């Protein structure tokens, strides 16, 4: 609803005048038709502009619907923009709650449904006129981003405003960005660094480049006129840069301290099976366990059983 309207410049708004046989008391300012009463022929508005016209707008309901239909053509089918246009023109409040619950049903236009919904209790608490729309937009507005020129400027701003930007951010990204820019860049930087804590200096350069690309993508999405082609190009470049940097999308974690020794050996065995060692004789008794058994278990048992006196090859007295 907040997107920029796509306007068809070839649409011309035209409503023909009515052929009047008998002039009556209440006349439509658009077609010229007239009626003896305003009820059921005109729509009410709480705007001060119509207070001396018994609170009715001067365009009849038939012309109102024709006007709405042509505004739909002007805004290339956007009912929200057409209704917003008419709310400004006839002094009605533009209420999002009423708009989101309005539909075109049973031959009744969405505008007609909206005009009924805007007068319900849950919507009238926000006002009834276009002036209330202006007030509500002002109350609910977001503060404009603050441009931070340097670290010194940041120090001055922090004394007046609650700005969540650090001096290291200014050093990392430079000056002349607003607070939203720095927060967006820093959040992505922290995420990439957390997932890649062991990156080298070359990867650090790529990480900063990725942060800038993500920042540009976010700015593209936040703009009123989103350029799809530009966003697609940025995402494609981000993907290429990420692969070129050799970074990871999940956090690197050394879990060896959480595993038992036998489990660690098991994992080693899965990835580097013993039968594939090139020098099998070199690794057949890598932990010297076989030599220990021969010298300190098998040798003494043989001496005990046979009465021999075979000495240990290293620890013996000649």
For the residues of 238-289, what is the DSSP string, one character each? Answer: HHHHHHHHT--SS-----GGGS-HHHHHHHHHHHS-GGG-S-HHHHTTTTSH
Task: Report which DSSP code applies to 146.
Answer: P
C-alpha distances in angstroms, 128 versus 98, 109, 111, 167, 179? 12, 20, 16, 47, 36
What distance lies between CA 308 and its chain's CA centroid? Answer: 84
- Residue 277 · residue 294 · CB < 8 Å: no
- Helix 179-195 and helix 201-222: axis angle, to 10°? 140
Report residue 36 as tokens.
Answer: 């003896």
Q: What is the pTM of this model?
A: 0.48
Q: Which of 115, 139, 163 is the last residue of a domain?
A: 139
- Of 113, 125, 178, 115, residue with least CA distance to 148: 178
Q: What are the structure tokens assigned to 165, written together?
A: 């930007």
Query: Is 175 among the domain residues?
Result: yes
Same-domain pairing of 33 and 133? yes
Are residue 261 and residue 241 in the same domain, yes or no? Answer: no
| Same domain as 192, residue 109 | no
Give the separation between CA 69 and CA 74, rounded to whole angstroms: 9
**Domain check: are 171 and 233 in the same one?**
yes
Domain extent at residue 51: 26-139
Picking from 96, 115, 139, the residue at the C-terminal end of a domain is 139
Q: Of the candidates 139, 169, 185, which is a domain's last residue?
A: 139
Is 269 inside a domain boundary?
yes
pLDDT given at position 258: 63
Give yes or no: residues 236 and 195 share one domain.
yes
- Are 230 and 261 in a shared domain? no
The neighbouring-strand residues paired with 178 are 147
Q: At what angle do helices 61-74 and 110-117 cross, to 10 degrees?
A: 110
Say yes or no: 186 and 165 in one domain.
Answer: yes
For the chain, 318 residues long, give each residue's pLDDT as a single digit of tens.
455 568 888 999 999 998 887 889 999 999 999 999 999 999 999 999 999 999 999 999 999 999 999 999 999 998 999 999 999 999 999 988 888 888 887 778 899 999 988 887 766 777 889 999 998 887 776 555 667 777 777 777 665 566 668 788 888 898 888 888 888 899 999 999 888 888 888 889 999 999 999 999 988 887 755 677 888 899 999 999 998 888 877 765 656 566 666 666 666 666 665 555 556 666 677 778 888 899 999 999 999 999 998 998 888 887
Query: Domain check: are 103 and 173 in the same one?
Result: no
Q: Do 108 and 168 have their domain in common?
A: no
Task: Kindly state whether residue 15 falls inside one of the protein's structural domains.
Answer: no
Residue 12 lies in a domain: no
Q: Count how many domains the chain has.
A: 3
CA angle 150, 152, 153 (to 5 degrees): 65
Full DSSP string of 13-61: ---PPP--SS--SEE-TTT--EES-STTTEEE--SGGGGGGTTEEEEEH
The reply to whether 272 falls in a domain is: yes
Separation in Å, CA 263 to CA 53, 257, 288: 88, 11, 21
Looking at the domain assignment, is residue 75 inside a domain?
yes
Burial class of residue 109 in the structure, from the number of CB atoms within 10 Å of its CB (0-12 exposed, 13-18 middle, 19+ buried): buried
pLDDT at 85: 95
Same structural domain, 167 and 224: yes
Q: Tell me if 178 is assigned to some domain.
A: yes
Phi, psi for residue 179 in degrees, rounded to 5: -60, -35
Alpha-carbon gap, residue 318 to 316, rounded angstroms? 6
Shared domain check, 206 and 152: yes
User: Cα separations (Å) of 203 from 40, 153, 168, 242?
Assistant: 71, 31, 19, 10
| Domain match, 50 and 114 both | yes
Position 207 scores a pLDDT of 93
Task: Report helix, strand and coil shares of the chain as percent, to nearest 5.
Answer: 55, 5, 40
- How many residues would you count in the chain? 318
The Cα diameter of the chain in Å comes to: 143
Distance of alpha carbon 97 from the chain centroid: 23
Give a yes or no: residue 315 inside a domain: no
Is residue 231 within 8 Å of residue 213, measured between CB atoms?
no
């Amino acid at each position: 609803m907040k997107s920029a309207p796509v306007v068809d410049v070839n649409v011309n708004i035209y409503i023909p005048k009515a052929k009047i046989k008998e002039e009556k008391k209440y006349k439509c300012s658009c077609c010229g038709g007239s009626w003896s009463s305003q009820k059921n022929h005109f729509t009410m508005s709480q705007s001060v502009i119509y207070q001396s016209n018994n609170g009715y707008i001067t365009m009849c309901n038939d012309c109102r619907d024709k006007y709405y239909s042509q505004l739909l053509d002007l805004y290339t089918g956007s009912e929200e923009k057409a209704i917003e246009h008419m709310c400004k023109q006839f002094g009605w409040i533009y209420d999002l709650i009423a708009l989101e619950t309005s539909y075109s049903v049973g031959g009744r236009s969405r505008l007609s449904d909206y005009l009924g919904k805007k007068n319900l209790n849950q919507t009238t608490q926000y006002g009834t006129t276009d002036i209330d729309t202006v007030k509500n937009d002002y109350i609910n507005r977001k503060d404009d981003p603050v441009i931070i020129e340097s670290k010194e400027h940041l120090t001055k701003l922090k004394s007046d405003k609650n700005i969540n930007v650090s001096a290291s951010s200014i050093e990392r990204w430079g000056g002349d960005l607003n607070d939203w820019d720095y927060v967006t860049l820093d959040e992505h930087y922290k995420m990439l660094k957390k997932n890649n804590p062991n990156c080298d200096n070359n990867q650090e350069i790529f990480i900063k480049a990725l942060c800038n690309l993500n920042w540009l993508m976010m700015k593209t999405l936040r703009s009123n006129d989103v350029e799809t082609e530009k966003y697609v190009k940025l995402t494609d470049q981000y993907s290429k840069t990420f692969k070129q940097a050799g970074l990871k999308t999940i956090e690197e974690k050394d879990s060896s301290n959480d595993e038992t020794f036998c489990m660690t050996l098991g994992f080693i065995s899965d990835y580097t099976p013993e039968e594939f060692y090139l020098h099998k004789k070199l690794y057949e008794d890598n932990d010297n366990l076989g030599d220990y058994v021969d010298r300190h278990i098998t040798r003494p048992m043989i001496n005990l059983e046979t009465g021999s006196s075979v000495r240990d090859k290293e620890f013996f007295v000649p």
